Amino acid sequence: MIPQFDKLSGADRELLMKAPVMISVLASCSFGQVNEAQKNDAIKLAHLRQFTAPPLLQEYYKEVEKGFKKQYEEEVKLYFPFDEEKRNGLKREISKVNEVITKLDPFFGKLLLKSLEGYAKHVKNSVHTVFQDFIFPITYSKLNNYL
């Protein structure tokens, strides 16, 4: 497993492992349904991150990628239909990630947060339209407000 996660509880580890999945669901579920192009892009990105992330994060993304597609589908079922109440519930769950990140080594935590912000931005912008900005006005440069 990931040595930086050794001091975390099982629930905290699980939350960090699900963070890219939750971010992907939030970013790809606009207009009340799953955007298949963004979903596919999120799955590809989760796979690629294990090779392209900074070396310190590659093991993390390798673990994330293992169950990504299945977890994505489970999260979609959990938060469907994507109305305001469900979206806010998902945002609350994502906001817990920031608390867990503060328990990590500061260097690793900042690196992980920056990587998750980049991941979120990439998924959100994979099929970007003006309407998405109107419907989905999250600013991912400030993802740590939600993380």
DSSP secondary structure string, 54-121?
Answer: -HHHHHHHHHHHHTHHHHHHHHHHHH-S--HHHHHHHHHHHHHHHHHHTTS-HHHHHHHHHHHHHHHH
What is the pLDDT, as a whole number, of residue 126?
64
What is the pLDDT, as a whole number, of residue 128?
46
What is the pLDDT, as a whole number, of residue 112?
94
Evaluate if pTM is beyond 0.85: no
d(CA 37, CA 35): 6
Q: What is the pLDDT along the chain (147 residues), one digit of tens a residue?
A: 789 999 999 999 999 999 999 988 887 776 667 767 777 777 787 777 878 889 999 999 999 989 888 998 899 889 888 888 988 999 999 999 989 999 999 999 999 999 998 888 877 776 544 344 444 444 444 444 444
Taking the CA atoms of residue 141, residue 145, residue 108 and residue 55 in that order, the dihedral angle to the nearest 10 degrees is: -40
SS3 15: helix
